[in-house]
Amino acid sequence: MAVMTVDRIALHYERSGTVGDPAVLIHGSWSDAEVWVRVVPALSQGLQVLTYDRRGYRESHGPPRDRPVSDDASDLATLLKRTDQYPTHLIGQGYGGIVALRLALDRPELVRSVCAHEPPYVGLLEDWEPAREGPMPPTAPSQSEDALRASDARGPAERASSGPGPGGRGPRARTDVTAQRWAGYGDRWAEESADPDTRRPDEGIRSIDTPILLTYGEIGPPTYRAMVERLAGQLRNATVCPLPSAGRLPELTDPETFVGVLATFLLERDVPST
């Protein structure tokens, strides 16, 4: 694993694959770059894949983020420039999808496309109408927000400690260690959740011309489908795709389906087949 250092920030990253367009995988709030281990082998057959730990995660470090979304997008822009990994396809899960959309807005010259799985813009559900839109978790905005935040807090660590080790290989203990590490990211999650930019997207997002794929898992909380569909309504060039057998972490729990959906979308952008 290599490291990029600028000012007081050090980001650890790893590259895989030597053909095709650049692609960067952005992890969410309760995980780190290890969450991608089950999709990198397939993606790197047709893409030059870069995975990295965001600031404050695993071995990456730096000063506290005043505005986490903007700061993480800026960190990523610097990483892309330093590694000559642009223009790139951005693939983000959860909060990582929010960072990807922020970068597409702030630095469109660095971005070829965005794939975002369930970016948790909880503010998009403030006026949700259960009678018209179907059964979902509690309807009061504060209650819905608490339920969604709690789901984010529990999900990744629990999923990491169930089933086979990363990539379907190795002893269960490896995922237990991973889950324990991920469970220690609570302060980062709190920092990110407090950022107003994680509640709802910037108004400028309506001007993004970059092709965007939004996905949601059909076996996860239905609130995420609602958020994804409402977000798509604010974007010029968005495609929505459900993942029938996935939830919050398709890259970990259903990697083959997830890679297939990504490959189909990216093939339309002239990316070699995986």
Whether residue 180 is contained in a domain is answered as no
pLDDT of 140 higher than 50: no
Please check whether residue 169 lies inside any domain of the structure: no
- Identify the band that residue 176 occupies on the pLDDT scale cut at 50, 70 and 90: confident
Per-residue model confidence as pLDDT tens digits over 193-236: 999 999 999 999 999 999 999 999 999 888 899 999 999 999 99
Q: Looking at 169-217, which runs of residues are DSSP E strands?
A: 212-217
Q: In this model, does residue 272 exceed pLDDT 70?
A: no
Mean pLDDT of 97-107: 98
* pLDDT(142) > 50: no
Q: Structural domain of residue 222, as residue ranges?
A: 2-158+185-267
Closest CA to 261 of 29, 43, 28, 7: 43
**How confident is the model over 58-73, as pLDDT tens digits?**
999 999 999 999 999 9
Instruction: Give me Rg for the CA atoms of the chain.
Output: 17
Q: Strands across the sheet with 9-16, in order?
A: 2-6, 9-16, 48-52, 22-26, 88-93, 111-117, 212-217, 238-243
Residue 16 inside a domain? The answer is: yes
pLDDT above 90 as % of the chain: 73
In this structure, of 43-47, 131-135, 241-245, 246-250, the range with the lowest mean pLDDT score is 131-135
Determine the Cα–Cα distance for residues 46 and 156; give it in Å rounded to an integer. Answer: 27
Quick one: pLDDT at residue 67?
95
**Within a domain: residue 178?**
no
In angstroms, the CA 266 to CA 239 distance is 12
**Domains contained in the chain, number:** 1
Mean pLDDT for the chain overall: 85
Residue 149 included in any domain? yes
pLDDT of residue 126: 83
> Is residue 273 in some structural domain?
no
The pLDDT value recorded for residue 180 is 87
The two three-digit tokens of residue 148, written as one number: 């969604």
Core vs surface per residue 158-192: b (16+ CB within 10 A) or e: ebbbeeebbeeeeeeebbeebbebbbebeebbebb
Which CATH number covers residue 144?
3.40.50.1820
C-beta neighbour count of 227 within 10 angstroms: 24
Name the band, by pLDDT with cuts 50, 70 and 90, for residue 22. Answer: very high
What is the rounded distance in angstroms from the CA atom of residue 163 to the CA atom of residue 24?
26
On the question of pLDDT at 155 being above 70, the answer is no
State residue 138's pLDDT score: 36
Question: In Å, how far are 7, 63, 194 from 94, measured between CA atoms?
Answer: 28, 23, 15
Contacts of 184 (CB under 8 A, 6+ apart): none
Q: Rounded to whole angstroms, how far apart are CA atoms 37 and 261?
A: 17
Domain-located, residue 173: no
Query: Is the pLDDT higher at 215 or at 172?
Result: 215
pLDDT 10s digits, 72-95: 999 999 999 999 999 999 999 999
- In this prediction the pTM is 0.86
Q: Which two tokens stand for residue 155?
A: 């999900």
135 to 23, 141, 186, 194, 217: CA distances (angstroms)? 37, 15, 29, 27, 16
Asked whether residue 35 carries a pLDDT value surpassing 80, the answer given is yes
For residue 50, the model assigns a pLDDT of 98
What would the two tokens of residue 236 be? 């010029």
